[in-house]
């Protein structure tokens, strides 16, 4: 093995860990005074990491040349595509944090450090081509996430969110590890390539190996908040500080979804029959429960949590078909989903009252269109886009996923998905109705700083009909990333 080659392939990870360590030292000496400067430095480190991963995507890198450290790590176009989304989300989570935390006087220098390490762990997850790498990346991301969820430690809801996330996350990690050890026991390898070869060889799978696959999928399903492992999501999303919720709904979710794709299609790719049923069930159940659960919600953050469960269901449809087209559709959907999620949480962060306290109840944003027309318009665009109503870009994501399902002959799956998305449209439209047709509650009067406005503008433009200008470009990138996944060997 060529060390230089391997070390070059993990350059973004090296950069992020060095950046994190330096920021930690700076935080140790400078204290909370340097929190803002540290956030900016962390943004720069993440942007530099994005610049480092971008070439692999542009070249469509795949095959053995992208494999590092004896096949434990893979820096191909697929990893590069998802890493761009992850690091971008981390930058968004850093940009909106100072205004939020300053209100509670807890903008601490550890926040950017933890976000940086969480992004690093998520990046390792998507690059993992060995179960050990996968687990270490997952734990790095999870440990940082538990702490971030409880970051407002004086706030009871935040502490509860952190504890709940920690206990359930530890359980899910245990289930995942158990599945990995079963898989290892029955295939004799922890590397995805080795597992794939072992599973392809011996006809039908051994029962123990099937159990291994099921446990691994259950563990990952927890991380992506797919039904039936979704129960923690509304509580954690509601209780966590909103910038952290923005992070949870984007980076770790993209990471875990990409990890699931790699595990299912690379490691277990030889036996799609074993996991397809599970994925189909999880997809349909997530769509339906995500849509039904959201209907009764009065808190916007809880509503968005159910919306993310719902979206995960649609993304999983792309995985259930187990084709390259499906994988490409998933990536396109993920990119649009990240933009929609950032837009929605930034809009929620901008809902503040005169004292700067966050406004989270649905009734309090009644008549927003008359008091804050632009913010209401952006939020309405996000809601229409999440519902997948045609002129907006959110429609495109659902369209490509269903197209892949139909092309692979999964017509009933696509039909049920489309029918269930109509239920979902109900609560998205309810938010729009409250903002546009109800009597103004006149609660949202606070101002927001520049990063919020800028982020909202950029993401809203992306999910607006203007986004369709990017479809060819986005489709080509998704295709090359998905091709890298299918031509790994």
Partner 1 sequence: MIQLIAFYLFATVVIASGTLTIMARNPVHSVLWLILAFFNGAGLMVLAGAEFIAMLLVIVYVGAVAVLFLFVVMMLDIDFSELRAGFIKNFPLGMLLAIVLFVELFVGLVARSAGHLVLGKADGSGAPLAGKSNIEAIGALLYSRYLFLFEAAGIVLLVAMIGAIVLTHRQRSDTRGQNVGRQIARRPDEATVNVKPEVGKGVTL
User: What mask, x for binding partner 1 by CB under 8 A, covers residues 153 to 172?
Assistant: x--------x----------
- Contacts to partner 1 from residues 443-462, by CB under 8 A: none
Q: What are phi and psi of 416, to 5 degrees?
A: -65, -40
Position among 70, 374, 426, 437 found at the interface with partner 1 (CB under 8 A): 70
- Cβ at position 28, least distance to partner 1 in Å: 10
Position among 144, 172, 254, 431 found at the interface with partner 1 (CB under 8 A): 144
Q: Which of 226, 211, 174, 216 lies closest to 192, judged by CA?
A: 216
What six digits make up the tokens of 118? 């969480």
Q: Which is nearer to partner 1, 69 or 486 (CB)?
A: 69
Position among 46, 53, 56, 68 found at the interface with partner 1 (CB under 8 A): 68
Does 143 help bind partner 1 (rule: CB under 8 A)? Answer: yes
Does 316 help bind partner 1 (rule: CB under 8 A)? Answer: no
Does 151 help bind partner 1 (rule: CB under 8 A)? Answer: yes
CA distances from 138 to 101, 257, 332 (A): 26, 12, 23
DSSP sequence for 371-437: HSHHHHHHHHHHHHHHHT-TTSTHHHHHHHHHHHHHHTT-HHHHHHHHHHHHHHHHHHHHHHHHHHH
Q: Which is nearer to partner 1, 150 or 386 (CB)?
A: 150
Q: Which is nearer to partner 1, 67 or 80 (CB)?
A: 67
Position among 49, 94, 97, 124 found at the interface with partner 1 (CB under 8 A): 124
Q: Which is nearer to partner 1, 118 or 319 (CB)?
A: 118
Q: Which is nearer to partner 1, 174 or 412 (CB)?
A: 174
Choose the stretch contacting partner 1; rule: CB under 8 A; options: 51-59, 70-78, 168-176, 295-303: 70-78
**Which contacts qualify for 113-116: CB closer than 8 Å, 24 or more apart?**
113/20, 113/23, 113/24, 113/27, 113/38, 113/42, 114/144, 114/147, 114/148, 115/42, 115/90, 115/144, 115/148, 115/247, 116/16, 116/19, 116/20, 116/23, 116/42, 116/45, 116/46, 116/90
Does 389 help bind partner 1 (rule: CB under 8 A)? Answer: no
Position among 39, 66, 67, 72 found at the interface with partner 1 (CB under 8 A): 72
Burial of residue 357 (number of CB atoms within 10 Å: 0-12, 13-18, 19+): exposed
Does 132 help bind partner 1 (rule: CB under 8 A)? Answer: yes
Distance CA 452, CA 472 (A): 29
Give Cβ neighbours of residue 99 (< 8 Å, ≥ 6 apart): 349, 448, 449, 451, 452
Distance CA 167, CA 5 (A): 39
Position among 102, 110, 155, 364 found at the interface with partner 1 (CB under 8 A): 110
Position among 137, 169, 241, 417 found at the interface with partner 1 (CB under 8 A): 137
Does 140 help bind partner 1 (rule: CB under 8 A)? Answer: yes
What six digits make up the tokens of 164? 């709940």
Does 114 help bind partner 1 (rule: CB under 8 A)? Answer: yes
Give me the residues that bind partner 1 (CB under 8 A), please: 6, 10, 17, 20, 24, 68-70, 72-73, 108, 110, 113-114, 117, 120-121, 124, 132-133, 136-137, 139-140, 143-144, 146-147, 150-151, 153, 162
């Amino acid at each position: 093995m060529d060390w230089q080659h391997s070390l070059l392939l993990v350059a973004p990870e090296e950069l992020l860990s060095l950046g994190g360590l330096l920021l930690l030292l700076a935080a140790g000496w400078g204290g909370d005074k340097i929190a803002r400067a540290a956030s900016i430095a962390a943004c720069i480190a993440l942007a530099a990491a994005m610049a480092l991963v971008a070439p692999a995507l542009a070249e469509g890198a795949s095959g053995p040349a992208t494999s590092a450290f004896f096949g434990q790590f893979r820096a191909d176009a697929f990893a590069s595509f998802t890493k761009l989304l992850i690091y971008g989300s981390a930058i968004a989570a850093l940009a909106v944090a100072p205004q939020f935390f300053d209100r509670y006087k807890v903008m601490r220098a550890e926040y950017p450090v933890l976000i940086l390490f969480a992004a690093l762990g998520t990046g390792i997850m998507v690059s993992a081509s060995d179960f050990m790498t996968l687990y270490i990346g997952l734990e790095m991301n999870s440990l940082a996430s538990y702490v971030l969820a409880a970051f407002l430690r004086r706030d009871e809801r935040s502490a509860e969110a952190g504890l709940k996330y920690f206990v359930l996350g530890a359980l899910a990690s245990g289930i995942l590890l158990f599945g990995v050890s079963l898989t290892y026991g029955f295939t004799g390898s922890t590397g995805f390539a080795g597992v794939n070869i072992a599973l392809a060889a011996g006809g039908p799978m051994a029962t123990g190996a099937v159990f291994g696959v099921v446990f691994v999928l259950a563990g990952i399903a927890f991380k992506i908040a797919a039904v039936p492992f979704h129960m923690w999501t509304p509580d954690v999303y509601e209780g966590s500080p909103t910038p952290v919720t923005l992070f949870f709904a984007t980076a770790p979710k993209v990471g875990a979804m990409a990890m699931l794709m790699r595990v299912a299609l690379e490691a277990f790719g030889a036996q799609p029959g074993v996991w397809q049923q599970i994925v189909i069930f999880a997809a349909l159940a997530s769509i339906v429960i995500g849509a039904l659960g959201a209907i009764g919600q009065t808190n916007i953050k809880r509503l968005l949590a159910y919306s993310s469960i719902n979206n995960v269901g649609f993304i999983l449809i792309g995985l259930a078909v187990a084709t390259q087209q499906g994988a490409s559709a998933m990536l396109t959907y993920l990119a649009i989903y990240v933009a929609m999620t950032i837009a929605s949480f930034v809009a929620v962060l901008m809902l503040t009252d005169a004292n700067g306290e966050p406004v989270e109840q649905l009734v309090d944003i009644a008549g927003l269109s008359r008091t804050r027309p632009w913010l209401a318009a952006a939020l309405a665009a996000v809601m229409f886009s999440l519902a997948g109503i045609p002129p907006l870009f959110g429609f495109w994501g659902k369209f490509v996923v269903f197209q892949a399902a139909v092309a692979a002959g999964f017509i009933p799956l696509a039909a049920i998905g489309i029918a269930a998305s109509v239920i979902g449209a109900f609560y998205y439209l309810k938010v729009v109705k409250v903002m546009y047709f109800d009597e103004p509650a006149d609660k949202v009067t606070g101002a927001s700083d520049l990063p919020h406005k800028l982020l909202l503008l950029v993401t809203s433009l992306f999910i607006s009909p203007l986004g369709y200008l990017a479809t060819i470009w986005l489709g080509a990138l998704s295709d090359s990333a998905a091709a890298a996944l299918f031509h790994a060997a």
